[in-house]
Every structure is written in C-alpha cells, then in structure tokens.
Amino acid sequence: MTTTRPPVETTASISKPDPQPVRRHRRQRESGADRAFTIVVTATLLCAIVVILYPLYFVVVASVSEPSAILNGDVWLWPRGLTFEGYAKILSDPGILRGFANSVLYTVVGTAISVATILCGAYALSRRDLFGRTFFMLLFVVTMFIDGGLIARYLVVQELGMLNTMWAVVLPGAVGVWNLIIARTFFESNVPDELRDAAQLDGANDFRFFWRIVLPLSKPLIALMVMIHLVANWNAFFDALIFLDDENKYPLQLVLRNILIQSEVSASGGAGAVDSYAAAQRMGELMKYGMIVISTIPLLIALPFMQKHFTKGALLGAVKS
C-alpha cells in the first residue's frame, strides 16, 4: 500500500506577496507627481505668456485710447475714449511711405549681405585645412572687445565715400562676430570631412560642394541668420542718424522718430499757448503708441514663417557636439 506523503514546504514554494499592488501604488504616486509638475509648468508658462503678451496688447489698446485715460491709469483691457487720430496723423505724413520703402530696401539688402558673408566666412573658418584659421578667427574675435569708436567709424565711412548712401547703413555692421561663431560651430558639427571627401571623389570642387551640399544641409542655420538680421536691420536707425543727411533716404524708424519729436515740440501758438501746447502733447502721446504698432507689424507678419527653424538652428549652432 502506497502512502502519500504531504508536500514539504520549501523556501521556494512559500508564496511571495503580489508585487502588482506595490507597482500600481508606485505608478499612482508617480502619476500624481507628474500631474503636479505639469500643473506647475503650465501655470508658469501661462504667467510668462501673460507677462510677454500683455505689454504688446496694451500698446495696441493705448494707440486708440485717449491719452488722458492712459495717464490716469484707466486703460487696462479695453480702450477708453476710442480715437484714431494718432494713426491718421502718422499715415498722413508723406514721409511714412517713403521711409517704409527705404526700410524694406535696407532690410532686404542688409540681410542678404550679412547672411551671405557670414555663411561663406563661417564655412571657410570651419575647414581644418584652412591655412592660418586660428589667426583669422582671432582677428574676428578681437573686434568683439576692441572698437575704434564712433568718430573712427565715421571717418572710415567718409573716406570710403559711403556717406549719405545706402551702403553706409548696411555695410558697417554687416558681419556680426557672434553670429559668425554660431555658423562656424554649426558647420563643424554638421558637415563632416568624410562628406567633402566623397564629393571630391565625385568631381565636385569646393564651390560646388558648398553650394549643392552644404547650403541645403544648413536650412535651419540660414533661417536663424535671416531672422536675426531681419530684426536687426529693420529696427536699426542709429547708423542712418549718423551717416545720412538726406531725409528722402531715412528709414522708417528714423522718420517715425522725427515725427514724434516734431509733434512734441511744435504748437501752433508757441510754447506760451497752453491749449496749443497741450494739444501737441496729446497728439504726441497718441502717435507714440501708434508708431510702435506700425513699425512692429511687418516683423509680426514675417517671423512666424521662420519660427519653426529658429530653435533648431540656435541649438545646432550654439553647442558643439
């Protein structure tokens, strides 16, 4: 007769606690932490958006509001005393359209020159086989710390015969050294020597390699450079103020500045006429906000089309892998 022996309990056969509740609890705790982090980040971003956008919104609202309401602090979200006198005064000036056309010309030409020189110079400096590369780079870097000053710059522009011409506005600041360094780093990180060697085996010279291969690979960098110089050239007015004498060649920023100054200092009855002076001050306040809106609209229209390349180009060109 065969007897059945009871199973011997071993350490391996002892039932272990189910890990599922522990894992589920951990996931719930982590999800709660994630939700808290998401809430904090979202709230921070919303606050940042409000801080950035509200001043822009306030300028638009203030440009169509009564200046007395603005000075009294009554304008917050909606315009008070709706008026378009400032815009009418600005747009009625014959120099506005001329200044706008000049700004477009200076911006397009200046951006094209800056982007072309920076891309060509940065690619040359990124080549390890360039003789004297360190010396040339040092010459560029020195200009970031040593400047001859305004008088020396004016004398150079004068000796080159560029006074009162478009070139005095677009050429002196055409090459930004910081942008050159970003572009050079981009080429060093994203255009390997093996790619150039392969192109040379196929019969491509340096110019064809740069035009057919390097530039198509550098679209994010090109978009970044275009955006930077587009904004800089559009907002620039100091060089035009120093080097231009003909009002017909003034850019929009300088035209708007002169209109604002004239509206603040001119009164039909002289400084002694309180009513006339107050009216001139009122018009100056209206025009001040209107000019900000007018000068900003072109950039607000153009920049969103290049925004998708901005972050990628900045990251690829600012950090060397």
DSSP string, 45-91: HHHHHHHHHHHHHHHHHHTTS-HHHHHTT--SSS-SS---HHHHHHH
**What DSSP element (H or E) covers 233?**
helix 219-235
Label residue 120 by pLDDT band (50, 70, 90): very high
Task: Say how far apart CA 201 and CA 130 lie, in whole Å.
Answer: 20
Question: Residue type for 241, please?
Answer: L
- Give residue for tokens 């015969």: 161
The CB density around residue 249, as the number of other CB atoms within 10 Å, is: 20
Mean pLDDT on 269-280: 58
Task: Say how far apart CA 123 and CA 117 lie, in whole Å.
Answer: 10
**In the prediction, which pLDDT does 111 show?**
93
The CB density around residue 117, as the number of other CB atoms within 10 Å, is: 15
C-alpha gyration radius of the chain: 31
The CB density around residue 303, as the number of other CB atoms within 10 Å, is: 13
**pLDDT over 90 percentage in the chain:** 12
pLDDT at residue 38 greater than cutoff 80: yes
Comparison of pLDDT for 20 and 103, the residue scoring more: 103
Cα–Cα distance list, 194 to 190, 284, 296 (Å) = 11, 62, 45
- What integer best gives the mean pLDDT of the chain? 79
Q: Name which CATH class applies to 85-318.
A: mainly alpha
Domain ranges within the chain, ordered by starting residue = 85-318
